[in-house]
Every structure is written in structure tokens, then in C-alpha cells.
Amino acid sequence: MGRVRVVAPATSANLGAGFDVFGLALDRPADVLVVEEIEAGVEMVVEGFPVPETPEANVAGYVAKRLAENAGAGVRLELRKGVPPGSGLGSSAASAVASAAGVAVLLGLEVGMRELLGVCAEAEGVASGAPHADNAAACLYGGFVCVGEGMRVLRVEPPEWLEWGVVLPEVRVETREARRALPERVPLDVHVHSLGSVVMMVAGMMRGDRELVRLGMRDRFATPVRSRWIPRFEEVVRAVVEAGALGVTVSGSGPACIALCSGDVCSGEEVAEAMGEVYSEAGVECRCFWGKPGGGVEVEGRRLSNILKG
């Protein structure tokens, strides 16, 4: 009977127009999971932020049951939640990916990255009502990712200069409701605008072009809808521009807002604090995070992408 320790970071999905396609791994905060092999079944304990401890009701437990039971094994999960649930920072993805990575490595399963991503996307569907792989892909692979049909992932190493700042106001946004609020049909002009933004963002990340990344953050599909739940969003946008960042958008379904910036112009910390001041002056509680793009989930200090293939 062995055990492994897994660290799975927060992520930001969409980054503007890349709805359900773009994801960015952050370097903090993170979930920490210890997976231990037991004779049979799935046991689970949780510390930190409150989430269900019943394996059937928890994305980490869901993934563990899928993988361990198929292998005829049992596991015990000790999860310390570091990514706030309901934040828009990929909390459920971090738990799901931590479980998938830990169980796969501990039990020596013959699975690839894409197979694990599929299981995590299913688990995300349990949490949000619709399977999606953007957060999970970023957490699994690290860096900036684009998810295509068949769980194919294009991973791009973000530019060295890229930094991020996040503000998380104390308001509640339900992921299921945020998805239901999006229009089922998209006007032609919005579709064309989205395509342009998506191309700019991918090219900007690959070329390390600051102006293209700035253009890529523009969005007329999800952001206008989801920003309605976020107080003082327009003031946050103005604060980010004044601080010198490339742009700001809703992280996932919110309420977190993420700004991208070039570290030689302004730091992620400066941008996060500028956004935080908007809420402090308005008497709204908030938390701020900042850092650089992360390398994705690690098992015993090693990136999963260096352990598994495919």
C-alpha cells in the first residue's frame, strides 16, 4: 500500500472570447491531495473550504471511483481545498485533476493525459451541469491551453513577461446559472468578433506579442452577460487600464476577475491591488491573488505531463 501527494493549481478559463476553449494555469492558490491505496472502495476527508465529503457528491471522489474501481483497487483521499469553491478559479477542476493524477500514478494505471482529461471533464459536468474541459486541461497540462474536439489540447508556453492579477469579490455566482444565462444563438457580428479575438489571443501567446494578447481579451459573448453579476465591474475595468494592464475579463463564470499584464510595465500585484481598491472603497469584501502562469498539476514534485504521455 503506497501513497502520493498531489498539488493541483487554480486556473482561469475563457480569457475573454475563448469560451469553453481557453484555459490558463495559475501558480496559486492550489488544492493539495494525498492519495493512499486501501483494500477496497473510496474514502474521503476534506479540510479547508467546505465541499461535500461524500465521494459520490465530490468531483475528486467521482474521479477516484471511476479510475480505482475500474482497476479493482481502493483509495483514500485526503483533500485540502486551497482553491475557493464558486470563485471562477477552477476549484472543481483542481479537485478532479488532483484525484485523477494521484490515482493514476499511485496505481500505475496505463492511461494518457487525454483519457484523464475526459474523466475530469465528465466530473466537471457533475458540478456545473455541462461537461467542459478548459479548466481541467489547463490544470493538467499547465501554461496556456486551447481545447479542441476529441479532447485534443494545444498547449502554449506563455511569454516570460506575462503576469496576472485576480480580484475575488465576496459575491455568489452559481456556475449552472451562469451557463444557463448565455444565449443559445449568437448573432453574426458577435461570432465574427469572437473569432477575431480568439485568433489574436492564440497568436499573441505564441509570438509573445503584448498587443495581440490585449486585443485577444476583448469579448462580446460571455463577458457582457456574466459581468452583470459582478459589482463595480466597469470600475474594475477602468482601474486595470489606468494601472497599465493589457485587459481584464471575468474568470470562468466569476465572480473572480482576472487581468493580464506585462511585468515590465506593471506587476500582477499592482494590478490586483488596483482592482481590490475598487471594492475596498465601495465597502465590498474581496480577496486578491497575483502571480505568473503555472506549470500544472504535480505529483510528488513532478509535473504530470512529464510522467504520463498522450
Domains and CATH numbers, the chain: 3-156+294-306 (3.30.230.10), 162-291 (3.30.70.890)
Task: Label residue 160 by pLDDT band (50, 70, 90).
Answer: very high
Give the pLDDT score at 138: 98
Position 88, amino acid:
G
Give the residue-averaged pLDDT of 112-120.
94
223 close to 249: Cβ distance less than 8 angstroms: yes
Q: Which amino acid is at 219?
A: D
> How much is the mean pLDDT over the chain?
93
CA distance 226 to 65: 33
**Catalytic hit among 47, 56, 78, 124:** 124
Beta-bridge partners for 3: 36
The runs of H, that is alpha helices, within 108-221 are 113-128, 134-141, 175-180, 188-207, 210-216
Distances (CA, A) of 72 to 10, 101, 108, 109: 31, 17, 12, 11
Would you place residue 183 in the very low, low, confident or very high pLDDT band (cuts 50, 70, 90)? confident
Q: Is 124 a catalytic residue?
A: yes
> What CA–CA distance (Å, rounded) separates 267 from 271?
6
User: Which of these is catalytic: 11, 163, 175, 223?
Assistant: 175
Residues 147-168, mean pLDDT to the nearest whole number: 96
User: Which segment of 46-60, 168-182, 281-295 scores lowest on mean pLDDT?
Assistant: 168-182
130 band by pLDDT with thresholds 50, 70 and 90: low
Least confident of 9-18, 123-132, 153-162, 216-225: 123-132
Is 175 known to be catalytic?
A: yes
* CA dist., res. 86 & res. 189, Å (int): 31
Say how far apart CA 33 and CA 48 lie, in whole Å: 12
On whether the CB atoms of residues 94 and 32 are closer than 8 A, the answer is no
- Cα 97 to Cα 3, 94, 174, 228, 296: the distances in Å are 16, 5, 21, 30, 10
Mean pLDDT of 14-19: 95
Which pLDDT belongs to residue 59? 94
Q: Would the pLDDT of 109 be above 80?
A: yes
At residue 10, the pLDDT reads 98
28 contacts 289 by C-beta, under 8 angstroms? yes
Q: What's the pTM value of the predicted model, to 2 decimals?
A: 0.94
Q: Which residues contact 162 (CB under 8 A, 6 or more apart)?
A: 213, 260, 261, 262, 263, 292, 293
